[in-house]
Amino acid sequence: MSGTATNSKAMNDHTPRVFQIAFKSTALFRFEALLPAGNVIGSWMLTRLLQQRFQGEGILAGDCAACGELNAGFGLVKVTDLAKGVEGLKDELQRIVILYQTTIAWHDESEMVWRIVWPDAQKGNTVLEFLTVEMVTAEMQRGSRTICEAKEAVLEQLRRINEGRP
């Protein structure tokens, strides 16, 4: 079976399967006011938004997850309707202005490859490794440090406020 036939079949399949859709953003540009560097919280907020959207549409099949900065990270969603999942993800990424610097792929378990569905210029291309364990682990460790540093900064600021210092 060709990759295109598998893609078409999966996109129109309405049996209760679970599809994994992954997305990777690359920081093509930085406009600090809109997409600041180190915005790890934005990634987590995006996953909560996706989780609520897909739950409301009745297609959520597990937790959504993301690592890294909002404009230079990656995430994974599990849905029961591939076409709705891809369209919903594209819609939300467009709303937060990072769709055009994002690649979206779904994991085709029958052939053990990731099939790219966005951008259109790459549609139908397959890659063996879209997200690797090493990439996720490194980003989680980096993200954990960033969050710890941010928490420390907030705690220090609260201490100063409680002590009456600016």
CATH number of the structural domain spanning residue 34: 3.30.70
| Structural domain that includes position 42 | 3-131
C-alpha to C-alpha distance for 124 and 114, rounded to whole angstroms:
10
Pairing, β 113-118 against β 65-69 = unpaired
Domain assignment present for residue 120? The answer is yes
Q: How much of the chain is in helix, strand and coil states, percent to nearest 5? A: 45, 20, 30
Segment 78-108, tens digit of pLDDT:
999 999 999 999 999 999 888 988 899 998 8
CA angle 133, 42, 127 (to 5 degrees): 35
pTM beyond 0.85: the answer is no
The tally of domains found in the chain comes to 1
User: Which string of DSSP letters, residue by residue, matches 22-36?
Assistant: EEEE--S---TTTS-
pLDDT score, position 4: 43
Domain assignment present for residue 149? The answer is no
Residue type, 36: P
